[in-house]
Amino acid sequence: MVVLLHFILALFLFLITNWFGKKSVDYGYYEFSFYEQEYNTVFDLLYKSFSPVVFIFIASLLFHKLGFDSCIIDIYYVVVYSFLIRVTYIIVMGRHSITDWKTIFLISVVSTSISYVVYNEFLLTKEFLIPSKEDIATALWFGFIGYIYKTLNTISNNGDSYEREQKYILKMKSDFSYRFDYVVKELTSSEKETNLIYSIMIYENFNRGLVIRFLERVLFFTRCIKTTGVMQVNSPSKLSDIDSIRIGGNILILKYREILSSEKNEYNAIRESIKNYNPDIRYINNVMEIYNILDEDPTN
């Protein structure tokens, strides 16, 4: 029973860290932005590693106050389970080729090790370390220094991350071309139009992988699912990947040609067609980044 509780806590930990990631542009979780920041400093490593530790500390404190001390036994396994859930999620979503596995492994080892030490030294003995005024003052200074460092660090870019993302995008285009090129070519008359459709396809597939799309089709009868297929087209009936490409691609290309014929501006035509497909500014910017990589690829 305790093991099941710990697994549920691990799932909750995974969900809330992703939720915080959604609220913070710089937090670096794949769930909410196509591009990931690298964990390339000791500060970033500790920043990510301590989140699960804080979680089990707070959970243990609550269990203790409620009189459920038995739930604290081996609670550090919550951290182990949460990383296993994250790895499973990455694989199921087809993001293994874009993931920095060395960093994921390092963070999991550091976080699990710290959690085990905290568990043995404090949680198991019920020493929950309520801070004194001096401790709070020290923490505030560390927080101030960390904030300044984090702010300065955000101006740096990491070439390894971009290279990995670029390889992922080009690989996905190659895979999709093999499977769907005959459908895409029915709709397009230029490489730019083709890249536009593949840009949407790559981004939507990144957020709605094969397994998720399968579940969407299975659960479509509930009417809670609004979009289906690899292009995530809104439709009153569930769509196959091929159907979604035909419908979604047609929406994109019609708008692209309309803007291009009136403004004679390639950039505006691409951007406005994406905006017409999904007006969210973050969506537009991410798809534009993908499009630019495809458009600059010399093999096109």
Spatial CA neighbour of 282 closest among 250, 15, 290: 290
Q: Long-range CB contacts (< 8 A, 24+ apart) of 100-107?
A: 100/36, 100/38, 100/39, 100/160, 100/161, 100/164, 103/38, 103/39, 106/45, 107/39, 107/45, 107/48, 107/49
pTM: 0.66
The span from the CA of 114 to the CA of 117, in Å, is 5
Instruction: With H, G, I as helix, E, B as strand and everything else as coil, classify residue 52.
Output: helix
The span from the CA of 249 to the CA of 271, in Å, is 15
Across the chain, mean pLDDT equals: 82
CB 130 within 8 A of CB 65: no
Question: CA 292: distance to chain centroid?
Answer: 21
Band of pLDDT at residue 107, cut at 50, 70 and 90? confident
Q: What is the pLDDT of residues 9-38, one digit of tens each?
A: 999 988 887 765 554 433 333 333 454 444
Torsion sign across C-alpha atoms 110, 112, 118, 120: negative
Most confident option among 100-104, 136-140, 168-172, 213-217: 168-172
